[in-house]
Every structure is written in structure tokens, then in C-alpha cells.
Amino acid sequence: MPPETFEFQVEARQLLQMMIHSIYSNKDVFLRELISNASDALDKLRLEALRDEALDADVSDLHIDIETDAEARTLTVRDNGVGMSYEEVVQLIGTIANSGTAAFLKELREAKDAASAEGLIGQFGVGFYASFMVADEVTLLTRRAGEDSGTRWTSGGEGTYTIERVEDLPQGTSVTLRLKPVDTEDQLFDYTSPWKIREIVKRYSDFITWPIRMAPEVAGPKDGEQPEDGAGSTPPGPETINSMKALWARSKDEVGDDEYHELYKHISHDWHDPLETIRMQAEGTFEYQALLFLPSRAPQDLFTRGHKRGVQLYVKRVFIMDDCEALMPEYLRFVKGVVDAQDLSLNVSREILQQDRQIELMRRRLAKKVLSTVKDMMSARPEDYATFWREFGRVLKEGLLGDFENKDAILAVSSFATTRDKDEQTTLQQYVSRMQEGQQHIYFMTGESRAAIENSPHMEAFREKGLEVLLLTDPVDEVWVEAVPEFDGKQLRSIAKGEADLDTGDEEDGARAEREKRQQEYAELLSWMTKQLADEVKEVRLSSRLTVSPACIVSDTHDVTPALQSMYRAMGQEVPHIKRILELNPQHALVEGLRRAQAERPEDASLVETAELVYGMALLAEGGELSDPARFTKLVADRLERTL
């Protein structure tokens, strides 16, 4: 079969050009990526061999080889792992199959510095393409375990690549780079130099659990010496250049932060150091070790359906499973790391794990350890905590909906924007400590943005009385506030729902009497407007939350909010229409004028239109949608015309 020539996918071509010409400050990392890919291939082969006894694959000596040729200027990284089929090469090499490609490339172009760009590359998991930073041409030879024929993929990284089927290939994958000339000013070193290869492996890949082998350096004869006759001598075999020591099994005193960070980067394909490293060791009836990491940046696909979550599972240092979801709850899906259990079967499946009592126990302990670590970070390193919450706060709050065992722990490490300070966030405990004397509730409001909430009519009386309000702008906030009714004995209350009970105990009898008098004065208007707007509202009443605006719309105490209704509809769920409550500000000239006009001209049809306008303005003020925008516009135009 002759070679076929393909063009790189547009996004892949753009990515390649950016990587080759402008992104990387440290080009050594190309080798880390190739070794990481080889290690993954070895892990996958051992796992497949465990689960498929009929697989025709040699697993007796799984390893990674590195070969250099200074004369030909080539570097080859070879593994005898699972390999790829022809179809997998077509699918995986040359394209970027990810729904966030466009957004990723946009962020990459806008990255302010090389470090930011490298972080994005790592998040996207396209390390193979890093080879083109140091090579003019890359050739990949691969044969999938169990198949007879192999595949050759070749490209110069410009616009095209060729693929052809080849015979007589060994099992696994080899990547050969035809290296660019050495240019130390551009950080292009001599990657055929054995000492340089050893330096990179020691720095980035020493912990890899498979042997990384390389031919030993052979010293030439000293000056004046005659070279020995090599007849009958056997050249030394390749030597292992990495320690292969599992970091989680070593004492903390033996391992430096740099080694932990490199393991994290290998596991997560992130190019940034983690924010926190967490070590755990459980002994007794069920033994396991865990090495977990809190990233410093959220991955691109954190909120997409295809996001892979979970940590790597080992059994007695034997790799069993990537992304083991059973070990980490959904709301901690950003946590990366390794869990090494001593008492599980090597042939355990995902289905068995989901019902395993020991796995459930580990999951609970790991979750508690992560949350306690975040709490410690909150008090000891507030800047790091602020970074963590900015990146992962939205995800962590999802735990309030399902992990009731850790609800208090999640609340303890949660922080929120409030009206007190636009730059500082606060915890619920801090909010409670600042509550005014006589204040009974923790007040909050949900919305699309801080500005939208602060400009809402619902805020007026709270602002006037100096009452602090939590400003909740994440979509998950609409849901978790329904699941968390109180904190520290104080009820959480939405300022956009129910009656605004702002009586902190110091209201004078005169003010209370004045309020009751107004209620009597407006009783007829309220009854009339409730009847006229019956299709839209369940009740019209006087408001104690308004000081400037003429009206606002609130939900009844136990009703679903409009934002939550929209979320349910977006998920395909039918939600019945829920009528809300229109509140009027009796101190506003428009409302007072409407009361007088309705008392004097109860049959005036134009007053019905005025009532509609008051309702429409209140709906728009909170960011709602009018049921009949054309009619509202016509009513406004007619009223404006009469003023001219």
C-alpha cells in the first residue's frame, strides 16, 4: 500500500506553527512528553494483558529505549507497549479532537507570556507535537499488540503528513526525530549528547515506573594508548538511567518538591506546578498510600461532559486504572494523583470498584483529607487559597448538593463576594460574626453578575440599613442555597424571595403604626392591581425592600426562582409557569399617583395600561423577559407621545 498524504486539521496546523515558532522557552520538555506517552503505552498493555488472556503480546520485559545518533543527528524514543492501529494513528495524530479547540487556540494567542502559553499546551494534552520544536522531521513507527501489520507516520510539521502500512514491525511505538542544528541562544541543545539526555530524564522522568534504557557511554582510549583489540569482546548492554522509585512509597524526607511536581505534570499533563501536594498513608485492616495534588489552574474541559476525572489506581505499585472515578467524588474532579492499595485484585474492573466497600471507605477518607488541606491552606496561605477558590470554587460548591456528610466541611472552606467589600470575599463564619444586633438571617441574592445584583431594586432597603448581602453569581449557587437552609443557627434567606423582614428589633412603635396605616390606604389599589395582572402575578403587595424604585418582583418563599426554571428547561425538563409577587413602593411618586388616580377614576382603561407598565418595568429591572415585548414597547411609545 503506497503512502497516503494528509493535511493537518486547521487547528492542529495553527497549534504546530505557534509551538514551533513562538511558544516554548524550555524545549527540553519535548523528551518528557515522549517518555510520558511511552509510559502510558506500557501501562495500557499490561492492563490489557491482564484482562485479555488471548492477547498475543509479549509483556515479559516492558521498557523504554532511548537511542541517539550524533552523526545522523537523530534521537529515537522506543517502547514495546500497546502501540496503535492504522485507524488510531489516523484519528489521533494530525487532528485535535476536542470540542474546546477554538477557545483553546484563542487563549493561546492571547497568552501574555511563554509560561501562560506552556500552561495552556499542557492542559490540552498535545505533548506529542512538542517534538517539532527540536526536529525538522518526525517519524512514528507503531504496531498495535495483537495485530500483524504496523503503521509509519511522517511529517515535517508544516502542513502535511504521510501514513502508510508497513510489515515486520516490533510491538509498540518508536518516535524518531531528525534534530535541528544546535542553537543554544534559542535553547536548542545537542539532544544526541548522552549527558544531556540523562540530565533531562533525571530531572523530569526519574520516577517513571518502567525502566528507561540507554546505551552506556564508552570512553575512548587515552592519549598515547592503543585501542584494545575488540575481537571476542561483547559490547556493554543498555543501562537503566531512571531510578523507577514510586514517590508515594518513599519517605517524605527523601523526596524533594521538584520530584513531586514532575510526577504531577506526568499524571496531569499540566505544565504548571501544583498548588498543593497531599500525602496519605493508611495502615491497619486496609492499607493504602495516596499522593494527591491540587492544581494551580483549572483545565479547559473542567465543565464539559467529556472531562476525565479521578486519580490513578495502583495495586502494590502495579498500574491498574487511569481516571478512577470511584476514588474521588464528582465535585473534587480536579484533584490529580495516585492511590496505591495493597489488598485489591489486579483484575479489578470499574464496575466492581463502584460497589467495593474498601474503595468507598478510601473515597470518603480522601475527600475529607482534601477538604482539611484546603482549610489549612485557607488560614496558613491565604493567597494560595484565593487562587484555589478562584479556579475551583464553582466545582467545590457542587458538593453541597450531594455530599451531605461533608457539607459543613465544604461550607467551612467556601468564600463569597458580599456588599461589604468589592475586593475581598468572606466566609459564612465571618459574615455571622459581623451581623447587626437583632439580625436573624444570612441574606443573599443570586444573579448573573455582581453589577446586576448591586443594581437590583431588591438591594435598596438592605443598602440603606447597612445590611450585608452575599452576592452569588455562579450557576450552582441557584441550586445549593436550596439544599443548605441554615448555617450556625442562622437561616439563609434570599432578598428576592418572600417578605423582606428587615425589622432588627429597633423599629419604633410610630414607624410600625405608619406602615399599618399605609397598608389600609393602599388596600383598594393592591386588590385592583392583583385582579388586573392576574395572568402574570399571584399577588400585588406593598414592599419594605424598596426605597428608590417604584416596584420589584419577588418569588414566594418556597417557589423555584426564574433562573432555576431556566436551568431546568435547558436540561430538557418541563417546568410549569409559576406566578410571582409584585411589590410596590408606597413612597414613590408614580405609585402614589396611581393610587389616587385609581380611587378617582376606577373605570379609566388607561390605568390598566399603567399597571402593565409598572409590572413590565419591574420585570426588566431584574433582568427578566417580557412575555409580550411588542405590546410593552407600544404602551411606552404612546405614553411618551402624550408628553410632547
Does residue 52 have a known ligand-binding role? no
- Rounded distance, CA 57 to CA 48, Å? 9
Strand-pairing partners, residue 74, are 69, 178
Does residue 505 have a known ligand-binding role? no
The secondary structure of 442-470 as a DSSP string is EEEEE-S-HHHHHTSGGGHHHHHHT---E
Does residue 554 have a known ligand-binding role? no
Does residue 125 have a known ligand-binding role? yes
Other residues' Cβ atoms within 10 Å of the Cβ of residue 55: 14
Q: Are strands 537-542 and 580-584 parallel, antiparallel or unpaired?
A: parallel
C-alpha cell at 108: 493561546
Does residue 242 have a known ligand-binding role? no
Cβ atoms of 246 and 347 within 8 Å: the answer is no
Does residue 123 have a known ligand-binding role? yes
Does residue 413 have a known ligand-binding role? no
Does residue 79 have a known ligand-binding role? yes
- Chain centroid to Cα 167, Å, comes to 43
Phi, psi of 614 (to 5 degrees): -60, -45
DSSP tag of 639: H
C-alpha cell at 495: 432578598
Burial of 617 per CB tally in 10 Å (0-12, 13-18, 19+): middle
Does residue 203 have a known ligand-binding role? no
End-to-end, the C-alpha distance of the chain in Å comes to 83
Does residue 404 have a known ligand-binding role? no
Q: Map 536-557 to HEC letters.
A: CEEEEEECCCCCCCCEEEEECC
Does residue 220 have a known ligand-binding role? no
C-alpha cell at 475: 450557576
Cβ atoms of 561 and 446 within 8 Å: the answer is yes
Strand-pairing partners, residue 134, are none
CA nearest neighbour of 16 among 142, 187, 160: 160
Cβ atoms of 178 and 137 within 8 Å: the answer is yes
Does residue 127 have a known ligand-binding role? yes
Does residue 159 have a known ligand-binding role? no
Report which residue type is found at 359. Answer: I
Helices 357-380 and 382-396, packing angle to 10 deg? 140
Does residue 230 have a known ligand-binding role? no
Q: 478-485, long-range: CB within 8 Å, 24+ apart, which pairs?
A: 478/446, 478/561, 478/563, 478/564, 478/567, 479/401, 479/564, 479/567, 480/397, 480/398, 480/400, 480/401, 481/444, 481/446, 482/564, 483/400, 483/401, 484/400, 484/407, 484/411
C-alpha cell at 229: 583489540
Q: Are strands 425-426 and 416-418 parallel, antiparallel or unpaired?
A: antiparallel
Detail the residues annotated as belonging to a binding site. Answer: 33, 37, 79, 84, 99-100, 123-128, 173, 350
Detail the residues annotated as belonging to a binding site for ATP. Answer: 33, 37, 79, 84, 99-100, 123-128, 173, 350
